[in-house]
Structure 1
Amino acid sequence: AEELKEYFSQFGSVQRCQLPFDKDTGFHKRYGWIKFSTPQDVQNVFQKDSHILEGAKLTLKQQSRRRRSQRQNQSE
């Protein structure tokens, strides 16, 4: 997770980086979440065509506004 956070820090301030761990295999699952400080930091990430970390091409998806608002409503 630290390598992922370090890589994405070049695009802006990373608040949190989560990589779920698979207890059965002993490895990280092949997905994770990165939370940036500002929407501009997120846009900086998507301005680059591709991202490669430790030889693996990363597929990025931006969390939808709908899901974000659902999570905010749940935490209130």
Structure 2
Amino acid sequence: MALIARRGIRGIYKLYVGNIPWTVSNNELRQYFEKFGPVKSAIVKFDSNTGLTKHFGFVHFFERDTYRAVQAEESHLLENVRLTVSTVTVGIQTPQYEQPNRDSFGRRHQAISDDD
């Protein structure tokens, strides 16, 4: 199956990494993926309330060849745990505009003034 690189706005290739062991830091994640080539960043996501890992993160690569080399690898093991690696779809976010006099369902409501 052919994989097409999703190129971000700044030419960065991004992968989702799941099933990250709770003991793995950003630096350890980066070191693992650097064996394939240069890594722009490696980020493990943490819960802001508990400080514990959410067991997933993202790795950004500068080069398409590095990105493809990671995807071509049959499996990825970090601390004897098999990681889940998949592409990230980069989309264009539609700006949200204020909708005056509308509720959360988009229904129009007449504005109520202090005189009413």
TM-score, scaled to structure 2: 0.54
Give the structure 2 partner of residue 23 of structure 1: 48
Q: SS of the residue aligned with 1:41?
A: helix
> How many residues matched?
70
Q: How does 1:1-76 map to 2 (within 5 A)?
A: 1-64=26-89, 67=90, 69-70=91-92
Q: CA deviation at 1:22?
A: 1.1
**Larger % of strand: which?**
2
Q: Percent identity?
A: 30
Runs (4+) of structure 1 exceeding 3 A deviation are none
Q: SS of the residue aligned with 1:11?
A: coil
8 A contact 2:45–2:57 mirrored in 1: yes
Structure 2 regions of 5+ residues with no counterpart?
Answer: 1-25, 96-116
CA separation in 2, counterparts of 1:55 and 1:25?
25
| CA displacement 1:5-58 (0-9 Å, x = unmatched) | 001001010001111111333311111000001111100101110000011110
Structure 1 regions of 5+ residues with no counterpart?
Answer: none
CA separation in 1, counterparts of 2:88 and 2:48?
26
**Larger % of helix: which?**
1
Identify the structure with bigger relative contact order (alpha carbons < 8 Å, sequence gap 6+): 2
For the aligned residues, what is the CA RMSD? 1.9
